[in-house]
Amino acid sequence: MPPSPRRIALRLQYDGAAFAGSQLQRGRPTVQAALEDACLALSGAPHRADFASRTDAGVHATGQVAAVTTTSTLALTRWVGGLNHFLPPAVAVQAAREVPLEFNPRRWATARTYAYHLRVSPVRQPLWESRAWVLTAPLDVSRMEAALAPLEGEHDFASFASRSPPSGTVRTVDEARLHASAPTFRFHLRAQSFLPQQVRRTVGQVVRIGRGAAEPTVVARLLAEPRCGAAGPAAPPQGLVLVHVRYALAELQEWDHDDEDVRGPER
């Protein structure tokens, strides 16, 4: 009798600079391709990996969640150690848990948390430039905090999206905060789901306000008059980290905390 199928959730950390994004793209390196190749090498059978969140080229993760369905009888510890043996250095499995067969990491997510890192310096910062947006001009923290406040709650966030998905552009942001300890700054945004590039375009607009190029009141206007892409250029990808994906699932309760995000070198 053949083994029964199992659904295995995997918590991933990766350096997005090595990939063209998380999802499969023909002829380009992606996190999904790397994970599926490792699953094949480990088990001898092809597997499709489903992801909780789509991350763009250059975006990092400490708490991405993927899931595969398998008939392999390998222990969960082998799925961690074995996959890490076959994965490239830029991506690693942090933990594995068996979950219900119907588990969908994208649809079952109840919250996603992203962090975005900034560094202010008048000179180049080689050890930070792959992990943060390095700026030369000072930032006004009070202006940025005032700009973030209206973003919490349910709104039409079309102005902060690169495109409008089939599900529409209304989302609920549970938290939009700035943690400032100059010369480093970290944005913390949490919602059940985000629009394409919503976090990076939010940061880009708030930084413009912090530099004095726009007033904090522009955020309320962008929400009141939603127009796709109106918030302007997105912040660069290397400062963004998918920190955590939350589920109301007993098997994943010990993952129910924000993983430590990649902050770069100490000051």
3-state secondary structure at position 96: strand
Long-range contacts at 70-76 (CB < 8 A, ≥ 24 apart): 70/5, 70/6, 70/8, 70/39, 70/43, 70/45, 71/2, 71/3, 71/4, 71/5, 71/6, 71/45, 72/3, 72/6, 72/42, 72/43, 72/45, 73/3, 74/42, 74/43, 76/8
Choosing from 15, 56, 156, 261, the catalytic residue is 56
> Residue 120 is inside which H or E element, if any?
strand 109-120
Cα gap 115→178, rounded to integer Å: 10
Pick the closest to residue 219 from 143, 147, 144 (CA basis). Answer: 147
Sign of CA dihedral 164, 165, 170, 176: negative
Q: Say if residues 105 and 28 touch (Cβ distance below 8 Å).
A: no
56 tagged catalytic: yes
Q: Say if residues 119 and 132 touch (Cβ distance below 8 Å).
A: yes
**Residues present in the chain in total:** 267
Burial, 232: exposed, middle or buried (Cβ in 10 Å; 0-12, 13-18, 19+)?
Answer: middle
Question: Could you tell me which residues come within 8 angstroms of residue 166 by beta carbon, excluding any fewer than 6 positions away?
Answer: none
Cα gap 245→88, rounded to integer Å: 23
Give the residue numbers annotated as catalytic, written as ranges.
56
